[in-house]
Amino acid sequence: MSTLEMEQLQNEKTRLEEESRNLDEELKQLESRSKILGEKIAIQELKNENAAKRQTINQLASKISTLETRLEQLVTGNTQNQAATETNFPETGRDEETIRVMALDNQEEIIETAQAENKESQGTSTNPAF
């Protein structure tokens, strides 16, 4: 084995070791990025769920306020606004279900939008550290 051949083998070994270190570093960065994105997704999903719940709470609080007003009117014998109030809530059970369905629809729409934005940002991101 010649000195030139030995030098070539050592150079190749050095190059491969450097490549291995670079690949290890890239792997660490990608694993870290994956964990970060997973956490961001979990956080966004919780935010979306909380927003939908807040909306449902606000709608129910508004309905309760209207119903309390209606009850107050009935108790005091004031029937002037009774017809208007009844048109707002003709079927109490159905209205509550409508509010729940609307909140779930809004939650699903928010989640789908967040997922689409996440996919879009992953597809357009050129920074591996994100």
Closest C-alpha to 49, from 121, 97, 114, 122: 114
95 and 56 Cβ atoms separated by less than 8 Å: no
Predicted model pTM: 0.50
Q: What are the start-end ranges of the H helices in the chain?
A: 3-76, 82-88, 92-124
Give tens-digit pLDDT for 91-121: 555 566 666 666 667 677 777 776 777 677 6
The residue ranges of every structural domain in the chain are 41-123
Reported as a single tens digit per residue, the pLDDT across 33-77 is: 999 999 999 999 999 999 999 999 999 999 999 999 999 999 998
81 and 96 in contact (C-beta within 8 Å)? no
Q: How far apart are CA 42 and CA 28, in angstroms?
A: 21
